A and B are shown apart, each in its own frame.
Chain A
Amino acid sequence: QKEVEQNSGPLSVPEGAIASLNCTYSDRVSQSFFWYRQYSGKSPELIMSIYSNGDKEDGRFTAQLNKASQYVSLLIRDSQPSDSATYLCAVEAQKLVFGQGTRLTINP
């Protein structure tokens, strides 16, 4: 079992809709959770961090964490073509481990 798994892509969403990205992790002692966005050919950039159960909102982005289910998700509301990228889930226990990424395409 991979330490961090993301829903397989690619994911295609119409402009203006909600994009939902999911991630599960295996290490129960994980304490910190991050979502990174990576445009093609570029390095990852942090868009959200979450440390406690529940929802955390930042603009059009909402991160959701459920430690009991070992599940973290990212919702993007009012999706824009500029949101088209690969989204990486990262989970920190003893070290920061990344999932394989989900490629998201927003269709105008």
Chain B
Amino acid sequence: EAEVAQSPRYKITEKSQAVAFWCDPISGHATLYWYRQILGQGPELLVQFQDESVVDDSQLPKDRFSAERLKGVDSTLKIQPAELGDSAMYLCASSTSFSGNTIYFGEGSWLTVV
């Protein structure tokens, strides 16, 4: 069964350092999402791509976060500089299109900022 691949699974970083997460969606899925989930809360959408274009990044803290999907396939989410409040699980997900379709999550990347 096809899966969304994410790496690294776990990352511990010091505050003010840079950190990056990588995601490879299910083959053929045009829509890719990055969500952040703080412990005890539901996932919050950070950015949504349709192919290589950003569809929604309204909740992305653009002063420190950036995301790209240059060739419309895999994607990278970067945080620089990391802050203590960034500690969370970063979930990548993909779907065939952006409306009404099931989205499939990767296993997530746990970030701890110390």
Contact = CB atoms under 8 A, between A and B. Distances in A.
* B is bound to A: yes
A66 B40 CA distance: 27
A44 interface: yes
Given A43-B107, A44-B105, A95 B41 contact: no
Nearest to A88: B42
Interface stretch (A67-75, A76-84, A97-105): A97-105
A95 B42 contact: no
B102 A46 contact: yes
Interface residues of A, number: 21
A42 interface: yes
A98 B91 contact: no
B107 A44 contact: no
A17 interface: no
Interface in A13-54: 31-32, 34, 42-46, 49, 51
B56 A95 contact: yes
A45 B105 contact: yes
Nearest to A31: B100
A32 B104 CA distance: 15
Contacts of B54: none
Interface of A: 4, 31-32, 34, 42-46, 49, 51, 88, 92, 94-101
20 contacts: A31-B100, A32-B100, A42-B107, A43-B89, A43-B107, A43-B108, A44-B91, A44-B105, A46-B104, A51-B100, A88-B43, A92-B100, A95-B45, A96-B33, A96-B45, A98-B35, A98-B43, A99-B42, A100-B42, A101-B40
